[in-house]
């Protein structure tokens, strides 16, 4: 009697784990793609996956004879480097991974558990979208998922891996999550596909050009990371999770390091050119001050004039924001404002201190920026810094002019400790622009306007564009030797580690989205 029951159990288990069957698995492999179960095995610590709702079947009518267990999505929990996560992975071998009523109920159930427990949620996308045969119930399922994504936002980290198609309304679930990783030449996301675009707008565009990993990581900013393959994708998820806490009341894990927190670097100043208008790579400064030269950049291909990412300093996770003089001279624009604002708000949600390195000539001028809303989008950066209550440490390295000085973690936005190098230039305008206004008449009557302008600009730079006037007013807490940047920032972070900050009660602010 027991033998028959166990025989049925093993048959059911085998059937459920076969997904859409061997033929469909082979088709998946022929496309160079792994199955949902193979992806889960890559991500999780060996032997830790516990699957839920394994035997759920889709709603089917009399015209359908085939019953698929799992209904096109695998859900459950496991561990990554010993830490608990919840996950769901669409199974393309079952009805193209399309979302039906029961599949959405499975996903919603696992999301609810992740929120209750306080553990990160990882979604692996490879889906044909809403299951047309189930009509409104498919759309209803997406609505339930969007609601949970929003509820979970700021409570648990949410990570999405795009390793296949994701179209129509389905794209908005990953868009609400914190980080999206797309696999090059495999992951695709778009609201309307190439066929519809051609029919409605007469535009010929390929799937990759419209919604591939490169398009979304460089143009739209939808994707935070591009993975070269599925193995790289799972490694990136593991690396990302290593910087993050489990939830919003937890703190990020420490990472042991042999890098001396008191290490000084006499060569750091050599990275900065003598000419303040000559570009240099701010990443070299970042790598020299963080633990073990290990910096995990986010949104690397999008708005590269401003850099964001995670690192450790003194074995603690920090978020870094830095102007990049190599691109647009480090000026702020619409895309970089959006990029930094979202990163700041993520760090603040999950107790990650923010370190800001400043070298910017201002906001990018021009009709394109003005007409596309630089005022509206630029204000998000101000809002995000003001709202953030985690420790905020700022170091001005070079230029810090005008509104961009204020926006980049200034004391006015309640940064906790503000350092500056002796090379810092803090002013309303850059020297050349300032003397063009201040000394307009003198320049008009000068015998040699070019030489006069240079002389006046040099005088302005010496008199006004330095960190000492700000230091006299307490707006800069300390002008530091560049070689001491690492130990000074680490000590400042340590001093602010117990920071508590509360404001007046409100439901939420009204950020200028």
Rounded distance between C-alpha atoms, residue 492 and residue 294, angstroms:
20
Q: Which tokens sit at 257?
A: 């390091």
3-state secondary structure 134-167: HCHHHHHHHHHHHHHHHHHCCCCCEEEEECCEEE
Residue 309 burial (C-beta neighbours within 10 Å; 0-12, 13-18, 19+) = buried
Contact by Cβ (8 Å): 358, 397: yes
Provide the token pair at 121.
């949620």
**Known catalytic membership, residue 403:** yes
Cα 463 from Cα 453, distance rounded (Å): 15
Reply yes or no on whether 169 is catalytic. Answer: yes
The rounded distance, in Å, linking the Cα atoms of 358 and 367 is 25
Judging by DSSP bridges, how do beta strands 478-479 and 425-427 pair with one another? unpaired
**Which tokens sit at 63?**
């015209």
**DSSP run (H or E) holding 387:** helix 374-387
Which listed residue (89, 213, 404, 415) is catalytic? 404
How many angstroms separate the Cα of 241 from the Cα of each of 118, 122, 129, 252?
14, 10, 27, 9
154 is catalytic: no
Q: Is the dihedral of CA 298, 300, 306, 310 positive or negative?
A: positive
Residue appearing with tokens 């320049």:
443
Concerning whether 404 is annotated as a catalytic residue, the answer is yes
Q: Choosing from 154, 169, 193, 301, which is the catalytic residue?
A: 169
Render the burial of 259-274: b for 16+ CB within 10 Å, e for the rest.
Answer: eebeeebeebbebbee
Q: Which of 154, 403, 433, 446 is catalytic?
A: 403
Summary count for the chain: helices (H), strands (E): 21, 17
Contact indicator for 72, 99 with CB cutoff of 8 Å = yes
* Catalytic-labelled residue, pool 168, 193, 301, 402: 168
Q: Which residues are catalytic?
A: 168-169, 403-404
């Amino acid at each position: 009697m027991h033998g028959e029951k166990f025989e049925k159990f093993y048959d059911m288990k085998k059937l459920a784990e076969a997904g859409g069957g061997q033929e469909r698995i082979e088709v998946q492999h022929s496309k160079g793609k792994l199955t949902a179960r193979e992806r889960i095995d890559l991500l999780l610590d060996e032997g830790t996956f516990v699957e839920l709702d394994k035997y759920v079947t889709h709603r089917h009518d009399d015209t359908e004879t085939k019953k698929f267990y799992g209904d096109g999505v695998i859900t459950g929990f496991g561990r990554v480097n010993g830490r608990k996560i919840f996950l769901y992975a669409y199974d393309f071998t079952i009805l193209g991974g399309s979302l039906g009523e029961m599949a959405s109920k499975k996903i919603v159930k696992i999301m609810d558990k992740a929120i209750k427990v306080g553990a990160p949620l990882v979604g692996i996308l490879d889906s044909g979208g809403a299951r047309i045969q189930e009509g409104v119930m498919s759309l209803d399922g997406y609505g339930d998922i969007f609601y949970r994504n929003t509820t979970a936002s700021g409570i648990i980290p949410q990570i999405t891996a795009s390793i296949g198609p994701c179209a129509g309304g389905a794209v908005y679930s990953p868009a609400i999550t914190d980080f999206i990783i797309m696999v090059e030449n495999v992951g695709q996301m778009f609201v309307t596909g190439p066929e519809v675009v051609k029919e409605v707008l007469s535009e010929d565009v390929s799937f990759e050009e419209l919604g591939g990993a490169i398009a979304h990581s460089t143009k739209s900013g939808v994707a935070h990371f591009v993975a070269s393959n599925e193995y790289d994708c799972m490694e990136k998820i593991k690396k990302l999770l290593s910087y993050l806490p489990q939830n919003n009341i937890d703190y990020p894990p420490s990472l042991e390091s042999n890098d001396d927190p008191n290490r000084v670097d006499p060569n750091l100043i050599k990275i900065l050119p003598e000419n303040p208008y000559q570009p240099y790579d701010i990443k070299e400064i970042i790598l020299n001050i963080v633990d073990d030269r290990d910096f995990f950049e986010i949104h690397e291909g999008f708005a590269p004039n401003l850099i964001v990412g995670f690192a450790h300093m003194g074995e603690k996770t920090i978020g870094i924001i830095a102007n990049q003089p190599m691109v647009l001279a480090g000026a702020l624009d619409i895309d970089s404002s959006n990029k930094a604002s979202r990163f700041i708000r993520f760090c603040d949600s999950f107790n990650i201190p923010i370190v800001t390195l400043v070298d910017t000539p201002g906001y990018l001028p021009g009709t394109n920026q003005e007409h596309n809303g630089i005022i509206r989008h630029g204000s998000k950066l101000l809002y995000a810094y003001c709202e953030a209550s985690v420790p905020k440490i700022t170091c001005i390295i070079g230029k810090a002019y005008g509104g961009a000085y204020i926006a980049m973690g200034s004391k006015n936005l309640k940064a906790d400790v503000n350092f500056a190098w002796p090379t810092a230039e803090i002013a309303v305008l850059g020297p050349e622009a300032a003397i063009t206004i201040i000394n307009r008449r003198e320049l008009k009557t000068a015998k040699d306007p070019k030489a006069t302008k240079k002389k006046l600009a040099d005088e302005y730079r010496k008199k006004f564009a330095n960190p000492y006037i700000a230091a006299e007013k307490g707006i800069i807490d300390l002008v530091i030797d560049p070689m001491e940047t690492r130990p000074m920032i680490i000590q400042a972070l340590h001093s602010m580690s117990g920071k508590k900050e509360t404001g007046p009660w409100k439901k939420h602010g009204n950020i200028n989205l």
